[in-house]
Amino acid sequence: MTQFVRLPQMAWNTPREISLSFPGEWQIEVYNMAGYDRRAMTRVEIKKVLENTIGTAPIKELARGKKEVAIIFDDMSRITNVKQIVPFILKDLEEAGVTEDKIRFFAALGAHGALNRTDFVKKLGDKIVRRFPVYNHNPFGKCEYVGTTQFGTRVLLNAEIMKCDLKIGIGSIVPHPMAGFGGGSKIIIPGIASIETIEAFHRLMRKIAKENPDKPVTGMGVYDNNPQHLNIEEAGTFAGLFVKIDCIVNAWGQTTALYAGVPRLEHAAGASFAKGHYLTQRAENKDIVIANAFAKVNEFEIVLDAARPAVSSKGGDIVICCDVPGGHATHYVLGPFGPDDMMTGHDLRLRAGLPPNINNLIIYSRYPDIASRGYFKEENKVLFMSRWEDVLLHLQNKYPGDAKVAVFPNADIQYFN
C-alpha cells in the first residue's frame, strides 16, 4: 500500500501542503522538531509580551520625546510574520506622540539582494507600505564606524539608521549554522552592517572552524560560549538605543512564542526556550533522506546540516524539497556569480560538501534554479527534478526493494544535540 507524507511549502506564496508518495515496503520515519505543532499566539498574548519588555521600559515609554524612529525587519530568508507585530508598535509610537513622518522602515538585508515592493507587502502588509517609506539596507555605502569588537571586527552600520534616536528590530530566533541561533543583535550585524563588516563577520567564522576542528563551538543550536554569537552580541551594543522583538515559530512559520526587550536579555531568554523547541531526534543509517525547506527555503542548502549525518555510511541519497518561485536568495559574499570561481567568486564563497557516502543530491522544485548548484562542492552529484514522479522513479531504480527513509519536515530550522 502506498504511503504518504505531507510537508509545508511555499512560505511566502500562499503556504500549502504537498503530499509525497512512497512505496509501501519502504520504512518511512518522520522526524519532527519538538515544537512543530505548538499553537500560534493570540493578539492578546502578543500585546502582553510587548507591554512587558525584558530589561527596559516598554516601547511606548521609550518613544516619548524621540525625534526619529527606525523599524528594522528581517528579509525574505526568514519566516518572521512581521506584519502581525507592527500594528502594536505603531500604536505605541502614536500614543507616545511620535508622528508618522518620523517613522521609517528598513529591511535588514546583510549581504542579501534587495527586496522589491511585493516583498515589502508580504513582510509588512499593504497598508504599511502605503503609509510609510520602506528602504533596503545598502551594505555598499553610507555606513559609519561605531566600534571594534573584542574579536577584532570593525563594525560599520547603516548611517541613516544610526541617526535615529530609537531603533526597533523585528526578527525570529531559529537555529543558525554560525551563530547557534539567529535573532537578537544579528539583525544589526550582519543585518545593517557594511560589506566590509559582513566579510569580517564571515572570516571570523572560517577562522573559528579552522581552530576548532574536533570540538565545534559554532553551528546549528550551538549557543553557549559561541564566539560568533558573542561577537554579534557585542556589535549590537554599538547600535545605541535598541529594542528587539523575536519570534519562535512552529512548522508552518506561525509565531508560537515571543520575546522582546534589550537584545542581549531577550535573546538569552528566547534561545533558552528555542533549545527545546527546535530540538529533533537524530536519524542514522538511512538510504534516503528527505529534507524539506520552508522557513528558509531560499537558502535551502542549510538543510544539509540535518540531512548529511542521517545518510548511511554505505551510501545514500538526499532529496531537498524547496518550492521557491524566486529562486535562491542572492548573497554577495557567499553566493556564486558565475561558473568560474577565479573570475567571479568571492574568496568566502560557500561550497557545501557532499561526502563520498552521498550518491546524489536531488533538488526537487517546481521552480529549478540551476545556478544554485554552485552552493555545493560536488556539483556533478546535484540533480534537479520538477516532478515527484521523476524523483520517485530515480530512487526506486536505486532501491528496488526495501529502503530506510528519514523525513525532516523543517530541516532548515531543526537541530540535534
Q: Would the pLDDT of 316 be above 90?
A: yes
- The amino acid that residue 343 corresponds to is M
Please give the pLDDT value at position 251: 98
Tell me how far apart the terminal alpha carbons of the chain are, to the nearest angstrom: 35
Contacting residues for 397 by C-beta, under 8 A, at least 6 apart:
none
pTM of the predicted protein model: 0.95
> Average of pLDDT values for 8-26?
94
287 contacts 399 by C-beta, under 8 angstroms:
yes
Domain boundaries, the chain: 3-32+282-408, 43-277
- pLDDT tens digit sequence for 373-395: 999 999 999 999 999 999 999 99
The 8-class DSSP code of residue 336 comes to -
- pLDDT tens digit sequence for 108-122: 999 999 999 999 999
Residue 271's alpha-carbon distances to 282, 289, 300, 346, 353, in angstroms, are 20, 28, 22, 32, 28
- For residues 315 and 358, what is the distance between their CA atoms, to the nearest angstrom? 6
> Average of pLDDT values for 311-337?
95
User: What is the share, in percent, of the chain residues with pLDDT greater than 90?
Assistant: 87
The CATH number of domain 43-277, selected from 3.40.50.11440, 3.40.50.300, 1.10.630.10, 3.30.750.24: 3.40.50.11440
Contacting residues for 224 by C-beta, under 8 A, at least 6 apart:
none
- pLDDT tens digit sequence for 178-216: 899 999 999 999 999 999 999 999 898 777 777 776 667
- pLDDT tens digit sequence for 50-68: 999 999 999 999 999 999 9
283 contacts 411 by C-beta, under 8 angstroms:
no
Q: Would the pLDDT of 349 be above 90?
A: no
DSSP labels for 5-61? EEEEE-TTSS-EEEEEEE-TTSEEEE---TTTTPPPPPHHHHHHHHHS-BSS--HHH
The CATH number of domain 3-32+282-408, selected from 3.40.50.620, 3.90.226.30, 1.10.620.20, 3.10.180.10: 3.90.226.30
- pLDDT tens digit sequence for 80-132: 999 999 999 999 999 999 999 999 999 999 999 999 999 999 999 999 999 99
